[in-house]
Amino acid sequence: MIPASGNLGVGGQQFWLGRHLVGQTIRLWMYSTTVHLSHEGHHLKTVPSRLTGIDLNRLRAQGARPGGPPPARPAAAHLAAGAPIEVDRTVNYSGCVSLAGVLISVGAQWAGRRVTLRLEAQLAHVIIDGAVVRTMPLTLAPHQRARLQRARVAGPRPTVDRRPPRVQRRVSSRGTTQVIGQRVQVGLRHAGRVVTIEIHETVLRVFDDHDEPITTVPRTSSKEVKRHKAFGRRTPDHPPASSG
């Protein structure tokens, strides 16, 4: 069963599965060269094994069953069809991931994070911690889908993330900061510190670095968030096309 961290340890080897499967039971087919992971009959991924014969014998003594033939990976023809599939990618410093030669903007606030992309017929859903945080149009040709590395058949569609966006801002020497074009009075005692601002439809909630509330002010701006971190680039509206 996958623990709350999303990181499963079996036989001395760690397997990262993500928090969207926390509490779910998965099956591992384990050998000295390869480990296959599946969930409810769907292949999740195949990774190199770090297990020795001693590790496998120890697992057998603890109740592991003979594995039989290795489970089949998704066929290229299945991936090429229009059924939903999923892939995992790491977001780069500018908030984008590369998929079949196409740069997809996920959001600069997720830079460095491992995310799941659920690909449907003409849509791509970005999944983080088991919730959809962004959906965008994306159409891949059958041969592009078939060539995606570590692609798998998708499970049930996750829920949409309804949480308000959170951004970071540095407080000026005058105790103020600015977000979505609106100036926010935080307080002189927080000057020079980085605070988190939660953007609701009608109010802005400000939290300190321990996630303790500082203040709540009415929202007077209807602008969208363009920058999520206290430092760094804005989230690109239209990511540049890749070359090749």
- Answer whether 132's CB lies under 8 Å from 160's CB: yes
pLDDT(59) > 70: yes
Question: What's this model's pTM, rounded to 2 decimal places?
Answer: 0.50
Question: Average model confidence (pLDDT) for the chain?
Answer: 82
Burial 200-209 (b: 16+ CB within 10 A, else e): eeeebbbbee
Q: What is the mean pLDDT of residues 51-76?
A: 82
Rounded to the nearest angstrom, the gap between the alpha carbon of residue 68 and the centroid of all alpha carbons in its chain is 33
For residue 170, the number of C-alpha atoms closer than 13 Å in the C-beta half-sphere is 6
pLDDT(240) > 60: no
112: DSSP letter: T
Concatenated DSSP letters of 190-207: GTT-EEEEEE-SSEEEEE
Dump pLDDT digits (tens) for 138-185: 888 888 887 787 777 777 777 776 778 888 899 999 999 999 999 999
pLDDT(187) > 90: yes
For 113, counting Cβ atoms within 10 Å of its Cβ (0-12 exposed, 13-18 middle, 19+ buried), the class is: middle
List the chain domain ranges.
7-71, 77-160, 166-218
